[in-house]
Amino acid sequence: MKKTSQSLAFLVLLFLCTSTGFGQINQIKKADKQYDKYSYIDAQAIYLSVVEDGYESVEIFEKLGNTYYFNSDYSNAAKWYGKLVATYPEDTKAEYYYRLAQCLKSTGNYDESDRMMTVFATLGSDDIIVKNFEANPNYLSDIAFESGAYEVEKVQINTDNSDFGTSYYMDKLVFSSASTTIIEGEVKVHEWNNQPFLDFFMADIDSEGKLSNVESLAGDINSEYHESSASFTKDGSTVYFTRNNFIDGKKGRDKNKSILLKVYKATKSGEHFWTNIMELPFNSNQYSVAHPTLSLDEKRLYFSSDMDGSLGQSDIWFVDILGDNTYGSPVNLGPSINTEARESFPFISQKNNLYYSTDGRAGLGGLDVFYTVLDENGLPTEIKNLGEPVNSTKDDFGFIIKEDKRIGYLSSNRGGDGFVNDDIYRIQEKCEITLNGVVVDKISGEIIPGALVILMDSKNKVIKKLTVGDDAVFTFMVDCELQYSVRATKDNYTPDEKSFVTPKETSSLKLKMELEIIDPCPVNDLGCKLNLQPIYFDLDRYNIRKDAATELAKILGAMKKYPELVIHIESHTDSRATHRYNEILSDRRAASTLSWLVDHGIDASRLSSKGYGETRLVNKCSDDVDCTEVEHQLNRRSMFIIQD
């Protein structure tokens, strides 16, 4: 895809160029004049009226689509680019198939977008963009895999106009705004989007990343033109920033009489007063330089530019900082990161990650945020899409973060359909711990496949359950700095439960859940060892029923076989009637059971009995609890306890 003078990456981001044009007499020439001045809103209105009057052409559809595209109104841009390729397919330039593909992504129509990208590729393009597209046909799956690492919310300081381009300045946040409410006095409006020119503002940041106390950045740093995208040294004494080509009250223009962008440097005087504005020597009137960011050692400045040697509409470059306003030659970061489209808004984090935005790689639509770890030479390695919700179907850019606090900021125009102002969003990186472990037998140490493992929060609310497989291993993802409990259970085992608080940083925790086999029969419970069915009694009765006699015969047999066996008979009632009555009734039932055994030949000295009334219920059926007859029956029983 060829680079064009009208499609600089920076222009789409609301603050690029102003230009003069010719005076014309008819509507088309009038619209073209506004278009050539980048007065897209005015040009758009005229083009629309011309189309409504029945006139159309390749150029009209191209320019009408561009007036929306360059203001990030991708839905309407898709409409007019769509008409272009449908009406004039043979005359449509390859780059418009690419732009249509990008716009279709922003409307969520990924299948049609991919189809347009395929057409773009077949038009003979061997662009990096095409190679990236063809190398990753399942890009949506890859993006989904990277998604979910952050939470995103709009900050309170956004105005009715554009607010974006955040940067860290000591313990404060600096951003650009086209605000008409924060500043006083006459407001100059930019023809590009009919909004005021951008200025720098500063806000306080609290421990949660919330912003407040907004004020204009003082000194000479703000001018009557655009300022945005600053990078401050760690000591807060120096700032590199983007401004239209304007210094000392003088405007600089390129050969087309456009005022492009340059990177400037300023130093602090006093608490927050910025002065001594200096232009960096690698700027030029003939190309734009913008979006500076400093390396961790502050010996290198990365930036975005369409200078000679760029692969596309704008690339990521760097220069070495050699001394006071002395710099090395600009170096392009190369095709491993740059494409024929827009690469812009680089930011280098505490962990030496380079975050930047591009529409030259497979993304969700518009500009997407990508990142790469810089190697020891400050060069990119593997490049990944940050996924949702950082990225959306709209333009997402200006990503910055303090990784030690897991809080950062993002700029985006995701607020709705059509032309929507850029806004600032707070991002919170999710801190997750990998919790894994194994379920084993407490005595033997053998694994226990099929155990149920339950993850619970601090209030014992179940978060997730899983049944371990043949390896008895379990894995959960949990948040940092929170309390959790894990419980492991299996039939015929006593459960094991462990509580813990996760660390402050992403890491891995291991747990060994130890279950102990439950003895199915207590050592002294003769009835259990003989598989004796409960000795039940009728309501308010203590005589031995026929079914009970059958079970008592098992006890009788054991006592005859083992003459040394001494038994204590326990008898219980349900909860109906008074406690005193139930005590008496249970005593009688125990005595009745003892008498039956004596009557069948067991010496009374080997037997004892006691009634416990309703004091040892086996279920919920206490006083005033509504239970079925079957449930009450379970409490009317006798037990046979072996005595030492």
User: Looking at the domain assignment, is residue 116 inside a domain?
Assistant: yes
Q: How many residues does the chain have?
A: 644
Tokens, residue 486: 């894990």
Q: Answer whether residue 140 is part of any domain.
A: no
Q: What is the 3-state secondary structure (H, E, C) of 162-178?
A: CEEEEEEECCEEEEEEC
Same domain, 83 and 108: yes
55 is a domain residue? yes
| pLDDT beyond 70 at 2 | no
Predicted local distance difference test score (pLDDT) of residue 542: 65
The CATH number of the domain where 443 resides is what? 2.60.40.10
Rg, Å, the chain Cα set: 39
Residues 124 and 15 in one domain: yes
Name which residue leads in pLDDT, 438 or 102. Answer: 438
Q: Global pTM? A: 0.67
Provide the edge-to-edge strand list for the sheet that holds 462-467: 462-467, 452-456, 483-489, 496-501
Confidence of residue 23 (pLDDT cuts 50, 70, 90): very low
Cβ atoms within 10 Å, residue 137? 10
Is the model's pLDDT at 361 over the cut of 70? yes
Q: Does position 197 have pLDDT exceeding 90, yes or no?
A: no
505 and 535 co-located in one domain: no
Indicate the number of domains in the chain: 3
Residues 53 and 111 in one domain: yes
Within-domain flag for 192: no
Domain-ending residue, one of 128, 157, 184: 128
Q: Quick one: pLDDT band at residue 44, thresholds 50, 70, 90?
A: confident
Q: Identity (one letter) of the amino acid at 332?
A: N
So what's the pLDDT on residue 624? 84
Same domain, 54 and 102: yes
Residue 442: DSSP 8-state: T
How does strand 368-374 pair with strand 380-385? Answer: antiparallel
Report pLDDT digits (tens) over 73-95.
888 999 999 999 999 999 999 88
User: Cβ distance 433 to 477 under 8 Å?
Assistant: yes
Q: Domain with 78 in it: what CATH number? A: 1.25.40.10
Find which of 133-147, 224-238, 506-520 is predicted with most confidence, using mean pLDDT: 224-238
Mean pLDDT of 237-249: 90
**pLDDT score for 577:** 86
> Which range is least confidently modeled, 160-164, 198-202, 394-398, 434-438?
160-164
User: Burial level of 119, CB count in 10 A (0-12/13-18/19+)?
Assistant: middle
> Quick one: average pLDDT of 55-79?
88
Same domain, 29 and 74: yes
- Structure tokens that stand for 242 in this block: 């983007």
Same domain (yes/no): 456, 506? yes
pLDDT tens digits for range 451-501: 999 999 988 899 999 999 999 999 999 998 899 999 999 988 889 999 999
Q: Looking at the structure, tell me whether residues 562 and 505 fall in a common domain.
A: no
Query: Residue 27's pLDDT band (boundaries 50, 70, 90)?
Result: low
* Domain housing 17: 9-128
Q: Which residue has the higher pLDDT, 138 or 310?
A: 310
Mean pLDDT within 142-160: 88
What is residue 616's predicted lDDT score, i.e. its pLDDT? 86
Task: State the pLDDT at residue 629.
Answer: 82
Looking at residues 551-571, what average pLDDT do you find?
90
pLDDT at 1 over 70: no
Domain assignment present for residue 79? The answer is yes
pLDDT score for 419: 55
Q: What is the mean pLDDT of the chain?
A: 86
Check which CATH number belongs to the domain holding 613 and give it: 3.30.1330.60
For residues 293-314, average pLDDT: 96
Higher pLDDT, 407 or 183: 407
| Least confident piece of the model among 140-149, 405-414, 516-525, 599-608 | 516-525
Mean pLDDT in residue range 435-455: 95
CB 493 within 8 A of CB 447: no
Domain limit, last residue, from 517, 549, 571: 517
Determine the pLDDT at residue 8.
33
What would the mean pLDDT of 109-122 be, rounded to a whole number?
Answer: 89
Window from 90-104, 145-159, 531-545 with minimum mean pLDDT: 531-545
For residue 9, the model assigns a pLDDT of 35
- Same domain (yes/no): 454, 548: no
Question: Stretch 281-306: mean pLDDT, rounded?
Answer: 96
Task: Indicate if 539 and 570 belong to the same structural domain.
Answer: yes
Q: Which of 255-259, 320-324, 597-601 has the lowest mean pLDDT?
A: 255-259
| pLDDT reported for residue 481 | 87
pLDDT of the residue at 14 = 31
Share of the chain above pLDDT 90, in %: 50
In a domain, 375, yes or no: no
Domain boundary among 128, 159, 183: 128
Tell me which of 30 and 486 has the higher pLDDT. Answer: 486
Residues 18 and 44 in one domain: yes
Q: Is 533 a domain residue?
A: yes
Residue 187 host element (H or E): none
Is 109 a domain residue? yes
Residues 6 or more apart from 365 whose CB is under 8 A from it? 74, 102, 103, 105, 106, 107, 108, 392, 393, 394
Residue 390 has pLDDT above 90, yes or no: yes
Would you place residue 549 in the very low, low, confident or very high pLDDT band (cuts 50, 70, 90)?
confident
Return the SS3 of 583: helix
